[in-house]
């Protein structure tokens, strides 16, 4: 069983108070893993200094789009109709790059028009079941929230598959937390990069 809910992103915090607990639990798990793996670094939060790792939302630069081009925003062009890989880790072999850890709690469709009818993920060698997202089309800003978050560790494979129903632009954002072992390593000053 792979429990999840589909809801409106804008109503997630006010109408689903358990999301705060799920996110807090995931944050603790990812932080504990980082503290163990990156010892003696400590968590410096969003304004880390020397000897600390930093914390951000999940950044698109750690992922490639369906054309194997590094994302600079969550917006990508879905150029082919049918079942396909729409997002992978940007590291060698479709992995999460070294020096990053991600706590993944869900996916958000930031466009009213959803161009996919189902999604599924593979994290390392674990394949997660398909999620039918047609129900999400009724929401203004639909999102899928997992009842248990996933840790995407550095150098761990990540693939997001989707059945694309029609060509066009789609903003598909990963919801969660990202820890950066080297706070200034991730370039966010690229022209067009979205925070």
Task: Tell me the pLDDT tens digit for each residue of 120-178.
Answer: 999 999 999 999 998 888 888 899 999 889 999 999 999 999 999 999 999 999 999 99
In a domain, 106, yes or no: yes
In a domain, 94, yes or no: yes
In a domain, 195, yes or no: no
In a domain, 91, yes or no: yes
**What digits encode the pLDDT tens for the residues 41-94?**
999 998 888 899 999 999 999 999 999 999 999 999 999 999 999 999 999 999
In the chain, the number of structural domains is: 1
In a domain, 185, yes or no: no
pTM over 0.85: yes
β-pair type (168-180, 126-127) = unpaired
In a domain, 191, yes or no: no
In a domain, 192, yes or no: no
Range of the domain at 96: 4-180
In a domain, 189, yes or no: no
């Amino acid at each position: 069983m792979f429990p999840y809910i589909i809801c409106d992103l804008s109503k997630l915090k006010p109408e689903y108070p358990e999301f705060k607990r799920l996110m807090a639990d995931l944050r603790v798990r990812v932080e504990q893993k980082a503290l163990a793996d990156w010892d003696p670094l400590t968590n410096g939060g969003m304004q880390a200094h020397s000897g600390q790792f930093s914390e951000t939302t999940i950044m698109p630069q750690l992922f490639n789009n369906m054309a194997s081009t590094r994302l600079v925003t969550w917006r990508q062009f879905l150029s082919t109709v049918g079942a396909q890989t729409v997002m992978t880790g940007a590291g060698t072999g479709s992995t999460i790059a070294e020096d990053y850890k991600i706590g993944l709690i869900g996916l958000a469709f930031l466009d009213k028009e959803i161009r996919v009818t189902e999604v599924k993920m593979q994290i390392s060698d674990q394949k997660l079941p398909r999620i039918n997202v047609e129900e999400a089309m009724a929401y203004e800003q639909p999102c899928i929230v997992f009842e248990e978050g996933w840790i995407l560790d550095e150098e761990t494979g990540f693939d997001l598959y989707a059945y694309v129903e029609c060509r066009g632009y789609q903003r598909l954002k990963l919801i969660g937390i990202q820890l950066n072992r080297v706070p200034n390593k991730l370039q966010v000053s690229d022209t067009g990069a979205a925070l």
